[in-house]
Amino acid sequence: MRRLATGRVVILGAGIGGLSAALALAPRPVLVVSPQVLGEGASSAWAQGGIAAAMGPSDSAADHARDTVGAGAGLVDAAVAAAVAGEAPQRIRDLTLLGAPFDRDPAGGYVLSREAAHSRPRVVRIGGDRAGAGIMRALIAAIRATPSVQVLEGVAACGLHLRHGRVAGAELMRIGADGAAASRPVCVTAPAILLAGGGAGGLFAVTTNPPGIAGQAVGLAARAGALIADAEFVQFHPTALDLGRDPAPLATEALRGAGAVLRDASGAPIMAGLHPDADLAPRDVVARAVFAAARAGRRPVLDATQAPGAAILQEFPEVSRACLAAGIDPARQPMPVAAAAHYHIGGVQSDARGRSSLPGLWVCGEAACTGLHGANRLASNGLLEALVFARRAAADMATCLPSAAPSPEVVLPPLRPLPPPDAALVLRLRQAMTAGAGVIRDAAGLSRCLAEIAEIEAAARACPVLVNMTATATLIAAAALLRRESRGAHFRSDFPRPAGGAGCRSRLTLQAALEIRAAARHSSAMVAVTQR
């Protein structure tokens, strides 16, 4: 494999976490690797709700942390929650200074909305439901104006390079169109690597994530030996718009905060009697209710015709645009919704400084698992976590590395593009994950899912993108099989209650997950034989 050496810190991923870290590292030279043009492929740009922060006069960081712990079903690291909630207002002020156009009231205060499991309004928004796009525009403008930051667009990491047990570089390839021939990747060695590559929603048949966000980041770290924490916890958003689109457009939780109600086809409120907070119950509770209604043929909808009513067209323009394009007037007609894979709570285990278990590899954003979210992420804490840990990782790298010195830009040799994974295999993987590791799980379904993942991986012909995807899928399903209880976003119909107490977090290596997969595959094969 051809190698290039750089003195730049290499950041894999160009969402809010990756770009924030690059700015925080300035004037240290940085190389940001982005699979798409900046702003086009990151989940951050699709985020609607906003960023949770105690900005209101009656709110406090302690209350924000308390809500975070409460939503996390016993697995939140309380110290992490307190620290992140404490930093949240300053991160909002930082973004404001960068030019993020947060919604403001006539007095200049931040407009705050309430989302599920928050005790009060504390979500800072942009344009109603355009927070992610607005923040990304401000960050991209700052990145373009920062001489120390080089951006490689249309390039993705397909693996990590280890030397003497330390992550010493990343294997890079270009992203190409269907049918493009692949060449061997180029290994760029660097003093430090920050993994900020996104989540795993695309591993499921219905998702709100951008195309290409399908577990690749966690998978490449896992294949290098990184410890993966809480992989079983996948948060399903209860109100993806069921319009036949892939990915599914999101109907932000702020709509329910503004009075929209989940109903079934008969008009009956879906959440009536299921939780004291009704439509603003924790996401896992609402997602299961929506999923159950759909499975029973009750056709769940989100009814905004009474509240916010006609105001939805101005206050929630992205939701309105998606509905109108499908021939639905959300001010007059209920919106069909479905539970969709939205956020991977688990990921590469990270400490308070953003360090992974592998020396030389830091991690932030959705690819990381910091302990903030526990078993069920509190709404709008995702972007906040990315911002906080991006800065922490940048600060820690700065202390671990020699003094910054000028470094020439990285010039990759001509590369043939990386072909996409076989579409039929990807569809098969997404269907297997939805059937076996979706909203409601059980041992038999998870075992079948693991067996199917093994067959898909064997057919992948060493396609690095698909092998990274199957690695993450294996970790999710194996960890879910091991957790013989229901807790937060993880629900087992064969173990429908928590095991008791606060619970414990899970930690797996890929090797351990592969051993679980092999056993499950053998078990599924035996069952198939006995049923013949």
Options 91, 137, 174, 283, the catalytic residue: 283
SS3 307: coil
461 φ, ψ to 5°? 55, 40
User: How crowded is residue 496: how many other Cβ atoms within 10 Å of its Cβ?
Assistant: 11
- CA separation, residue 30 to residues 20, 151, 156 (Å): 12, 8, 16
Which of 96, 93, 72 shows the shortest CA–CA distance to 82? 72
Residue with tokens 């976590």: 385
Tell me if 171 sits within 8 A of 185, measured CB to CB: yes
Helix (H) or strand (E) holding 4: strand 3-5
Burial class (CB in 10 A: 0-12, 13-18, 19+), 180: middle
Residue with tokens 């539970």: 339
Task: Give me Rg for the CA atoms of the chain.
Answer: 22
User: How crowded is residue 231: how many other Cβ atoms within 10 Å of its Cβ?
Assistant: 31
Distance of CA 442 to the CA centre of its chain: 24
CA–CA gap between residue 46 and residue 51 (Å, rounded): 13
Catalytic, 137? Answer no
CA–CA gap between residue 344 and residue 156 (Å, rounded): 20
CA–CA gap between residue 490 and residue 479 (Å, rounded): 10
Strands 186-189 and 166-175: antiparallel
Burial class (CB in 10 A: 0-12, 13-18, 19+), 501: exposed
171 φ, ψ to 5°? -90, 120
Taking CA 59 as the corner, what is the angle to CA 54 and CA 61, rounded to the nearest 5 degrees?
50
Helix (H) or strand (E) holding 480: helix 464-482
Tell me if 436 sits within 8 A of 205, measured CB to CB: no
| Maximum Cα interatomic distance, the chain, rounded to a whole number of Å | 72
SS3 169: strand
CA–CA gap between residue 430 and residue 248 (Å, rounded): 14
Q: Supply the residues annotated as catalytic.
A: 283
